Amino acid sequence: MSYQEEISPKKPPNFSWIQEGKLCAMGFPEEVGHLMYLQEHGVTHLISLTAEREPPIERLQGKCEDPTLHSVLPLVVIDFTPPSISQIERCLDIIEEENMGQGAVGIHCAKGYGRTGTVIACYYVKMGGLTAVHAIEKVRMDRPGSLETDDQENRVCEFESMNKNRIVISPADQVIDKARMDVPDVSPETEDQNSTISEESTTKIKTVAS
């Protein structure tokens, strides 16, 4: 792609890939260079969770002759509050639609932690099959400081509860590799061990009580 004047692509603040080539998170991309960086890395759709302001997409279109970052979805979410369930579902629909078309999605709020982290955790719940607790742990492991309020954590739990009977795991090429999740895995063997330990502990407690 070519630009009408010399402006260097610049990585947005707190940028990281959630799933390489498919979904990335960041703080507010306030400069045209930030948007250029996203374009160069295959981002075709940007989800904006800031009620305060929107990215300068018009300036990008004015500077770039053939922009590939073709759309921004503005969702009004007040800082330190969680997105609504309907907003989260809209975000996940956009991510799935763009990925099916081989495009990547970027999502941001002011710093990329609270509102953004809430959506990312819900993404892990739906697309990775994680529990809300493990999804939140995963987001905080990858992006320390994510999910800043109890309300944001509770929204992830609410999302899990509403979707637990209709979670749909993506096709193999879109499923998040659980081996890379680095979250505790409860295997049948582990459950049996825990059950045995629990029974032994209960027996000891009864013996002491006697």
What letter represents residue 48's amino acid? S
Mode of pairing for the β-strands spanning 16-19 and 23-26: antiparallel
The answer to whether 147 touches 113, Cβ cutoff 8 Å, is: yes
Element housing 144 (H / E): none
Q: Euclidean distance between the first and final Cα of the chain, in Å?
A: 80
Distance of alpha carbon 53 from alpha carbon 40, whole angstroms: 23
109 in active site? yes
Hey, what are 174's tokens? 């879109």
Count CB atoms within 10 A of the CB of residue 5.
Answer: 5
What would you measure as the largest C-alpha separation in the chain, in angstroms?
85
From 24, 64, 91, 109, the catalytic residue: 109
Question: How long, in residues, is the chain?
Answer: 210
Active site residues: 109
